[in-house]
């Protein structure tokens, strides 16, 4: 497979941003150097930042993303920190996957910081997902830590089995090593989406609190 040039990547990322209906803001600047994509400009909410980043990750050949988009809320979307904090608390309480009594939130100038301890990575992800689309959110810092209740001695085997179930082609190209609650992933995958799938499999294993993803993307 021919490796894409930076010009090719810039064109493909820009086209993907234009094509994706979830990216409403079409004036996002795209720059590429050595396979690293930089996204710049303004968007009208935090969801747009996430949508633009997801769109760029879908392009084969992208090695890394520098997301420098700034959220500039419209007048109708601005919320006071107090109002937004109440909305965050409600959203965390209403999400059945979030152990809301174990998660704390702080709001400062529209930026939401989450902290606390949960037993599973999916609970940490669910807490962020529950609030990222609230009107008035400019950004999210997810500082929640994962402290599993169950420790599995065969965590490497479980991850390897999960890779074969969900990402069989990638499994042969990835090495997995577990040290305590940390999992180290090394190897090469063809696309960013494959890398995401491998990392998701690692996070799904009981007892994992940190994934050191050293995978490279590219042919």
The model's confidence at residue 107, banded by pLDDT at 50, 70 and 90, is very high
Q: What is the pLDDT of residues 206-216, one digit of tens each?
A: 777 788 889 88
What pLDDT is stored for residue 120 in this prediction?
A: 85
pTM: 0.63
**Which of 156, 158, 126, 157 has its CA nearest to residue 142?**
126
What pLDDT is stored for residue 170 in this prediction?
A: 61
Domains of the chain (ranges, CATH numbers) = 6-72 (3.30.1340.30), 77-146 (3.30.1340), 155-217 (3.30.300.130)
Q: How far apart, in whole angstroms, are the C-alpha atoms of residue 84 and residue 186?
A: 40
The answer, yes or no, to whether residue 22 has pLDDT greater than 90, is no
CB 131 within 8 A of CB 116: no
CB 87 within 8 A of CB 134: yes
DSSP, collapsed to helix, strand or coil, labels residue 75 as helix
What pLDDT is stored for residue 181 in this prediction?
A: 74
CB 204 within 8 A of CB 216: no
Mean pLDDT of 32-49: 92
168 backbone dihedrals φ, ψ, rounded to 5°:
-60, -40
Q: How many CB atoms lie within 10 A of CB 35?
A: 16
The answer, yes or no, to whether residue 105 has pLDDT greater than 90, is yes
Mean pLDDT of 127-138: 94
Packing angle between helix 46-57 and helix 6-19, nearest 10 degrees? 130
DSSP, collapsed to helix, strand or coil, labels residue 39 as strand
The model's confidence at residue 4, banded by pLDDT at 50, 70 and 90, is confident
Tell me the Ramachandran region of residue 41: left when phi exceeds 0, alpha when psi lies from -120 to 50, beta otherwise: left
Q: Which two tokens stand for residue 165?
A: 């179930």
Mean pLDDT of the chain: 86
What pLDDT is stored for residue 150 in this prediction?
A: 46
CB 26 within 8 A of CB 17: yes
Q: What is the pLDDT of residues 145-201, one digit of tens each?
A: 987 654 545 667 777 777 777 666 666 778 888 777 788 888 888 888 888 888 888
The model's confidence at residue 90, banded by pLDDT at 50, 70 and 90, is very high
Q: How far apart, in whole angstroms, are the C-alpha atoms of residue 15 and residue 38?
A: 15
């Amino acid at each position: 497979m021919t490796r894409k040039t930076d010009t090719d990547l810039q064109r493909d990322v820009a086209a993907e941003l234009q094509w994706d209906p979830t990216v409403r803001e079409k004036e996002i600047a795209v720059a590429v150097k050595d396979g690293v994509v930089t996204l710049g400009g303004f968007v009208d909410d935090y969801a747009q930042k996430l949508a633009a980043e997801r769109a760029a990750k879908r392009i084969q050949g992208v090695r890394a993303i520098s997301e420098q988009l700034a959220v500039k809320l419209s007048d109708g979307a601005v919320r006071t920190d107090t109002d937004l904090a109440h909305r965050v608390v409600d959203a965390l309480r209403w999400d059945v996957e979030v152990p809301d009594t174990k998660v704390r939130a702080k709001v400062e100038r529209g930026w939401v910081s989450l902290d606390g301890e949960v037993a599973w990575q999916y609970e940490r992800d669910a807490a962020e997902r529950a609030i990222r689309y609230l009107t008035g959110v400019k950004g999210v810092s997810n500082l929640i830590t994962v402290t599993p209740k169950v420790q599995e001695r065969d965590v490497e085997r479980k991850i390897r089995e999960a890779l074969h179930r969900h990402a069989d082609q990638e499994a042969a190209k990835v090495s997995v090593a577990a040290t305590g609650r940390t999992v180290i992933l090394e190897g090469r995958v063809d696309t960013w989406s494959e890398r995401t799938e491998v990392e998701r499999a690692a996070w799904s294993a009981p007892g994992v609190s940190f994934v050191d993803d050293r995978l490279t993307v590219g042919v």
